[in-house]
Structure 1
Amino acid sequence: MGYNKLPLHKQAELYLRRLIEQDEFRDGKLLPNEVELSEQLEMSRNTLRQAINTLVSEGLLIRKRGVGTRVAEKNIYSEATNWLSFSQEMKVLGVEIENFELHISKQIPSEEARSFFSIPENIKVLRIERLRGKVNFPFVYFVSEFNPEIPLNGTENFNRPLYEILRNDYNIIVKTSKEEISAAPANNFIASKLEIETGDPILIRKRAVSDANGLPIEYNIGWYRADSFTYKIESVRNSI
């Protein structure tokens, strides 16, 4: 291998880094199991496991109990400098989107949405839940609640981008998004939707969206697989 002077776990780590760059593994094929790999490398499974743990901690590998180890999908990056809808973000990145689930209902809003819209407690709002992601890889579950003052009614074709519907059908131009990002362990419901283990890390992204006139339009929460989403922020310091 040309790196025999390295400690054994570093040899295994380097081997794995080269292995996961192969097209077959980048395309989703599971890595050989630990027994096979340890035999190929002629080292103990404990040493191999140390190398695998390093790549898992770096977000390069995903290990799922009872399934195996595979290469992590490349992260989706979102920037705070010029906010976009989810569909727009993916289009800019050249990512083909698949909609896995769509649920539409009228419900009493969450406390956060009710406060944002400044509406009475007994008013129901349109609620849309969507499981979305790349082809064959769901990585975000969205819940959107809408201000009852806007004419959106749930009969629209939500295969179209949401903000395109608001603009073209109702002349509502969204402008401002106030966001909050936090990390948390996945509960049973979100884990089942995102095809991860309960307790696995997720990112929670909350958005409060207003139109060009300052009217609250949408309160949105997205639960993202932490191995598939990165949020970038660029700040410019004013001169003092």
Structure 2
Amino acid sequence: MNFSIDHKNPLPLHLQAENLLRTIIKDPQYAEGKFLPNEVQLAKQLAISRSTLRQALNKLVYEGLLIRKKGIGTKVAEPAISSKSKNWLSFTQEMTARGISIKNFELHVTWTIPDETVANFFDISMTKKVLKLERLRGKAEGPFVYFISYFHPRVGLTGDEDFKRPLYDILETDHMVTATLSKEEISAKAADKFIAAKLEVEPGTPLLVRKRFVYDQGERPIEYNIGYYRSDSFVYTVESRRE
């Protein structure tokens, strides 16, 4: 298969690379488990930087279409069953739509070294600090969700913002960053001692874990968010329409 992109095309290079990768993974030889060409080789062939190519690769990795194995390579993931919801809302918007008044019980802002998962999502070095926002939220009677958010340094957050304001309003109004795309993963997990204490449940209690990968208008990653929900206080509903 001949790999190439049009450098005269006004479409950003990372989006052209992403579209090309989507075509490549449909090819039978790759769909059946063959590894993709290595990053150095493919970036050179496309005449783009490795960071541009990696941005496209990361997008497909987090969509679950590709699997990257460090030191080995990248290949097409086996098909998985998933549910998708369109027209995503922020947590505040979700609760407002349900007529629920939300209270902030705790709010912590720190600068931290990201772990490998967060660094890979942002495509940054693990030595570069990122802003970490932790919030314990719920209804007047008590908390039911503990959020941990990490933000790409490119966003420009300083940590001095008033995070009692809606988060995406802060990004858009104060930093000219518009969150336009969210991808989610839902799973179950037993509460460890730290989360159990925050949510006022016994360690080992089943929790709903909701990961959000948020992108800006250029489909660049801006936020990695994990929410730990009390399973007795929150139900996640997916509405799908067959076409």
Aligned-residue sequence identity (percent) comes to: 55
| Residue matched to 1:172 | 177
- Structure 1 pair 136–110 and aligned structure 2 pair: CA distance change class (3 A): farther
Tell me the C-alpha RMSD between the 2 structures. 1.2
TM-score with structure 2 length normalisation?
A: 0.64
Correspondence for 1:87? 92
Give the residue type in structure 2 aligned to 1:178: K
Write out per-residue CA displacement over residues 68-119 of structure 1, whole angstroms, 9 at most, x where no aligned residue. Answer: xxxxxxxxxxx93321111111111111111000111000113221111000
Aligned to 1:198: 203
Please give the residue correspondences for 1:83-232 in structure 2 after superposition, counting only pairs within 5 Å: 83-232=88-237
Q: Does the aligned pair in 2 maintain the 1:98–1:136 contact within 8 Å?
A: no
Give secondary structure in 1 for the equivalent of 2:201. Answer: coil
CA distance in 2: counterparts of 1:122 and 1:233, whole angstroms: 38
1:229 is displaced (CA, Å) by: 1.1
CA distance in 1, matches of 2:96, 2:222: 23
How far off its partner does 1:237 sit? 2.4
Q: Deviations over 1:143-177 (max 9, x none)?
A: 00000111111100000000010111112110111
Displacement of 1:228 in angstroms is 1.0
Aligned 8 A contact 1:80 1:232 in 2: no
What is the Cα deviation at residue 136 of structure 1? 2.8
Aligned length: 160
SS at the partner of 2:197?
A: helix
Conserved? CA contact 2:108–2:135, under 8 Å: yes
Alignment gaps of 5+ in structure 2: 1-83
* Structure 1: runs of 5+ lacking an equivalent: 1-78
TM-score for both structures, normalised by structure 1: 0.65
Q: Which structure's residues are more often strand, by fraction?
A: 1
1:3-37 superposed Cα distances (whole Å, 9 cap, x missing partner): xxxxxxxxxxxxxxxxxxxxxxxxxxxxxxxxxxx
Report if aligned partners of 1:166, 1:173 keep a CA contact under 8 Å in 2: yes
Higher mean C-alpha deviation, range 138-147 or range 81-90: 81-90
One-letter code aligned to 2:194: F
- For residues 111 and 235 of structure 1, the distance between their equivalents in structure 2, rounded to whole angstroms, comes to 33
Q: Greater Rg, structure 1 or structure 2?
A: 1
Within a 5 Å distance, the mapping from 1:229-240 to structure 2 comes to 229-238=234-243
Amino acid at match of 2:181: T
